[in-house]
Amino acid sequence: MRWRSPCLPLLLFSLLALSLAGDEDFKICSYNVQGFNLDKSRDYRVLHTLTRIASRCDICLLLHVTDFDGKGIQALLDSLNRYDGYTYQSVASKSLGPDPEDMQQYVFLYRTDTVNVTGQYQYQKPDSFVRPPFAVQFYSAKTAIKSFILIPLHSDPSRAVQEIDRLYDVFQEVSKKWSNKNVMLLGDFHAACAYVTRDDKRDIRLYTNSAFAWLIGDRVDTTVSEETNCAFDRIVVHGKTFLKAITPFSAQVYNYAEDLKIPRAKAVGISDHLPVEVDLKGSAPLLQATPLLILLSVSAVLQHFLSASVI
C-alpha cells in the first residue's frame, strides 16, 4: 500500500506561501517637523521620538527644517544609525524662502541598505513657489518600481492653490530631465480647509488630470490638535505604473502620539502635524508566475518524493 501523508495539503499550502512571498514593503514617509534645528535635536525626548518615527521608513521626507548648519540633522542621523542596525544618510536642499527669518530646507533621510540617490534637482523658476521643490530621484532594487522621483512641497498657505497647481510644471520638467514618469509628489500642501476649497480644485491640474492619484483623502486629519481637522499633508502619485506598485490601502496618517503613547500636549511640542506614509510593493519575481503552475510544480515534486515511501 502506498503511504500518503495527511499533512500533504498543509505542506503544499506552506510551500506555495513561501514561493509567493516577496520582499517586505518599502515605506515612504513625509513629515512636517515644524522648525527642526539643533536646539530641537538637543531635547532628548524630541530626538528619540523623531528617531522612532523616521526609523519606520526607508525614505523619510522632513519639511520645515531650519537647521542651517546641518548639526541638528546630523544629530538625528547619529541617533538613527545607533537605533536599529540600518545605515541612514541624508540629502537636502539649500535653505529656501523669501525672508531670512523664515528660511527652510527639504531633507530626505534614507536607508542606504535599501535605496540610493541617483539624482537631485532644485527647481529654479522664479516667483512660482515661496519654497521651490527639491526633486530627488531614487533607485531601489527592493521595490517593484525600481526607479522613482520624489517631489516635495511645503506650500505657502496664502498661495496653496497656485503652488499645488504649479507642481504640474515641476513634474513635467523633472520627468523629462530624467526620462522617468514614476513620480510621487508629497509634503505639506495645505490642501484642505480654508486654503483649498472644493471649487479651488477646478484650477489645480493635479486634481483635474486623471493621471494623478491622491492617496491621502480630503477627509483625513493630518494635524495633532483637537481644534483642527484638515488634510494638509498629502501624497500624490503619477501614472498607472507607479500606482500599481503601491501596496493597496497603505497610504495613511501615522498617529505616533497614539502608537507611542505620547500625550497630545507633548506631541504638539514636536510638531502640529502628523506624518503621512505609503508603502511600495516589494520586488518579488515569483509574484509574476501563475500560482496554479507553482502549485502543480510543488505537488509533482512532493508526489515523486512520497512515492518512494511504502508501508
- C-alpha–C-alpha distance, residues 102 and 66, integer Å: 8
- C-alpha–C-alpha distance, residues 140 and 183, integer Å: 14
What is the C-alpha end-to-end distance of the chain, expressed in Å? 6
- 58 or 7, greater pLDDT: 58
What value does the mean pLDDT of the chain take?
88
What is the pTM for the complete model shown? 0.86
Q: State residue 14 phi and psi, 5-degree precision.
A: -65, -45
The per-residue pLDDT for range 122-180, each reduced to its tens digit, is: 999 878 999 999 999 999 999 999 999 999 999 999 999 999 999 999 999 999 999 99
Residue 288 has pLDDT above 50, yes or no: no
Q: Which has the minimum average pLDDT: 87-91, 122-126, 164-168, 195-199?
A: 122-126
- Report CA 110 to chain centroid distance, whole Å: 11
- C-alpha–C-alpha distance, residues 152 and 150, integer Å: 6
Average pLDDT of 6-21? 43
- C-alpha–C-alpha distance, residues 223 and 230, integer Å: 7
- C-alpha–C-alpha distance, residues 173 and 296, integer Å: 49
Quick one: pLDDT at residue 101?
A: 85
Quick one: pLDDT at residue 308?
A: 47
Instruction: Name the pLDDT band for 118 (thresholds 50, 70, 90).
Output: very high
Instruction: Judge whether 190 and 157 are in contact, CB under 8 Å.
Output: yes
Instruction: Name the pLDDT band for 277 (thresholds 50, 70, 90).
Output: very high
Quick one: pLDDT at residue 303?
A: 52
Question: Which sequence spans correspond to the domains of the chain?
Answer: 1-22+291-311, 25-283
The per-residue pLDDT for range 214-247, each reduced to its tens digit, is: 999 999 999 999 899 999 999 999 999 999 999 9
Please enumerate in sequence order all residues whose Cβ is within 8 A of that of 212, keeping only pairs 6 or more positions apart, or say none. Answer: 185, 206, 236, 237, 238
Residue 95 has pLDDT above 90, yes or no: yes
Instruction: Judge whether 108 and 150 are in contact, CB under 8 Å.
Output: yes
Closest of 118, 115, 117 to residue 141, by C-alpha: 115
For the CA atoms of 276, 246, 243, 16, the dihedral, rounded to the nearest 10 degrees, stands at -170
The percentage of the chain sitting over the pLDDT mark of 70, rounded to a whole number, equals 84
- Specify the CATH number of the domain 25-283: 3.60.10.10
- C-alpha–C-alpha distance, residues 249 and 228, integer Å: 24
What is the torsional sign of CA 180, 144, 149, 141?
negative
Q: Is 13 helix (H, G, I), strand (E, B) or coil?
A: helix
Grid cell of 303 as nine digits = 508526489
